[in-house]
Amino acid sequence: MRILAVIPARGGSKGIPRKNIRLLAGKPLIYYSIRTARHCSAITDIVLTTDSVEIADLAQQYGADIVLRSPGLATDEATIDPVVHHATCAMEARTGIAYDFVVTLQPTTPLLRAETLAQGLDYFFAGAWDTVLSVVNKPRLLWEKRDGEIVPLYGERRNRQNLRPQYLETGAFLITGRAFVTADSRIGKRVSVFETDEDESVELRTPNDWLLAEHRLRRKRIVFRVDGYRKLGMGHIYNCLTMAYSLMMEHDVLLILHERSVEGLRKVQESLLPYVVIHDDTEIDRIIADYRPDIWVNDCLNTDEEYILHLKEQIPRVVTIEDLGTGSEVADAAVNALYIEAGRADHVYSGYEYVCLREEFQIEQPRAFSEEVRSVIIMFGGTDPANLNRKIYRSLLKYAPRHPEIRFSFITGVGYDYEAHGVVTREDCNIFVHPNVPRVSKYMKEADLAITSQGRAIFELAAMGVPAIVLSQNRREQTHRFAQMANGFINLGMGEEVEQSMIENTLDWLIHTPSVRRNMHELLLQYPLREGVERVRDIILGRGGRTYGV
């Protein structure tokens, strides 16, 4: 079979001046349709038909044959049928080939992928159609003016997803038998449509369309490799979800979790973001081959150099987050908000400047300082591996009844079985347990004091200006330097080693010493933590050099 791809590209575009040779994401517009045709193995020959010598010169550089059309075929009124017919006849005369099929590819749909064109050709041949047109399914509640009245084009009002398909023809491709290519038509009797996704159907008719296509072409595929389970905690999961939400409108994101991440998987499933569960790291190469990521973000504690170098052989950019392993030394960038590193390399970004607050903390503001303590929150992360909730709960069973004016609220995570540990609501003690709450900021905003572990919650409390007593879950958490008195925290050290009397005495002291709490409140609010997400976005995407931190 001989298949000719015809690309019509005249020089007199008025909606977007010089449209066909203007740079779109760094390439002339005609480059994209020529590239699509060249990467589709079924296409035999490619011809671009134009009235512009400038367009012709560029198209030849990208591998297309050229047919120069007459001025009569390049006016605003000229339709595309005679243009395609002229180009087809010219190529047959030039090559001595009688083409079997002709594919029209419009330069104004630069997002069409070669794989989609190949699928359209497969569909065309499988159905023995005369003509197949690319379409996008856009069901709408449409109206029209008829005999002076506005009338609906539907029989019943339904939600969009329940409307019957309505196919809008796009310029992505039109496949037809050579016999049907005439000066008046390219459509045979047996016609079908091939549905493309909305991205690939974008047509450049206005400057806004151009901006949308530019955005789509610069879109990256970003993979987040992350885990979250009882022993590890959920901080990595929450951090990656924050960054994935931040990037998903401009880029494609995918989360990869190990099957042991039971608690993390539950939270990722709630997010509705795309994810893959792996059994071991040997599956990663297959995912890379299928997904073809542009950026790999590894939010795991201890990567090794060999693993990161293996990723870099296949992926243009590799970033590690909160990584204490040797892999961070060879990554393109390493972001360690929790760990402050002395003498760090240029590719390492550490400290509070790179904290990624969840969306709820981006919009929520702290309330004014209160001289009296009316609300205390207790929160030890998504899994609380050291079971510090139970330790505080037992202390409060004795302490809380002496302070009926204070409400004590335990905010437990998705991986903590509060009932099995006996951490349950006791209204008689003014103790309340709130498991897996959708918005933690709601409780922080009402809190006058907090008891927490030394993970990412310390930054959330700082953003909300809530003074806190801090107990570490493990030795690793103790290396997180931010939770110090100089920043507004009372750090009691390893939670398992702290005497309950120390916790109770510290709590009682803070409750009855408003001047200390006020000072802590002011210290916490001195840090511009809400800027961290944008900074880390720039690092992940490789935008610019070091512009933050000290």
Same domain, 202 and 238: no
Examine residue 282 and state whether it is found in any structural domain, yes or no: yes
Residue 432 sits in which domain range?
A: 367-524
| pTM confidence score | 0.78
Please indicate, yes or no, if residue 548 is contained in any of the structural domains.
Answer: no
Question: Does residue 197 lie within any of the structural domains?
Answer: yes
Domain count for the chain: 3
Q: Is residue 530 in a domain?
A: no
Identify whether residues 378 and 287 lie together within a single domain.
no
Tokens representing 196 are 């493309």
The edge-to-edge listing of strands for the beta sheet with 221-226 is 275-278, 252-258, 221-226, 295-299, 317-321, 333-336, 348-350
Q: Is the same domain home to 321 and 382?
A: no
Instruction: Please tell me whether residues 48 and 195 are part of one structural domain.
Output: yes
Note whether 56 and 66 are within 8 A (CB): yes
Residues 266 and 373 in one domain: no
In a domain, 550, yes or no: no
Pair (289, 414) in one structural domain: no
What would the mean pLDDT of 146-154 be, rounded to a whole number? 88
Looking at residues 303-314, what average pLDDT do you find?
Answer: 94
Burial pattern 118-129, b for ≥16 Cβ within 10 A else e, equals bebbebbeeeeb
The domain that holds 328 is classified in CATH as: 3.40.50.11190
End-to-end CA distance of the chain: 65
If residue 362 lies in a helix (H) or strand (E), which one and from where to where?
helix 359-363
Instruction: Give the pLDDT of residue 339.
Output: 73
| Look-up of token digits 């029989």 | 155
Q: Is residue 449 part of a domain?
A: yes
- The whole-number pLDDT of residue 367 equals 85
Alpha helices in 449-491 (DSSP H): 457-464, 475-478
Domain assignment present for residue 529? The answer is: no
pLDDT tens profile 320-367: 998 888 999 999 999 988 876 654 678 999 888 999 999 999 888 898
The values of phi and psi at residue 16, to 5°, are: -130, 100
Q: What is the CATH number of the domain that holds 477?
A: 3.40.50.2000
pLDDT of res. 544: 56
pLDDT at 548: 42
- Domain check: are 115 and 259 in the same one? no
* Same domain assignment for residues 337 and 372: no
Q: How confident is the model at residue 167 (pLDDT cuts 50, 70, 90)?
A: confident
The verdict on residue 546 lying in a domain is no
Q: Measured between alpha carbons, how far is 420 from 14 in angstroms, rounded to an integer?
A: 71
Whether residues 239 and 347 share a domain: the answer is yes
Q: Quick one: pLDDT at residue 506?
A: 96
Residues 44 and 175 in one domain: yes
Q: Which of 216, 235, 265 is the last residue of a domain?
A: 216
On whether both 154 and 234 belong to a single domain, the answer is no
Residue with tokens 């293996």: 310
3-class SS letters over 241-306: HHHHHHHCCCCEEEEEEECCCHHHHHHHHHHCCCEEEECCHHHHHHHHHHHCCCEEEEECCCCCHH
| 206 and 234 housed in the same domain | no
Q: What is the CATH number of the domain that holds 208?
A: 3.90.550.10
Average pLDDT over residues 200-207: 89
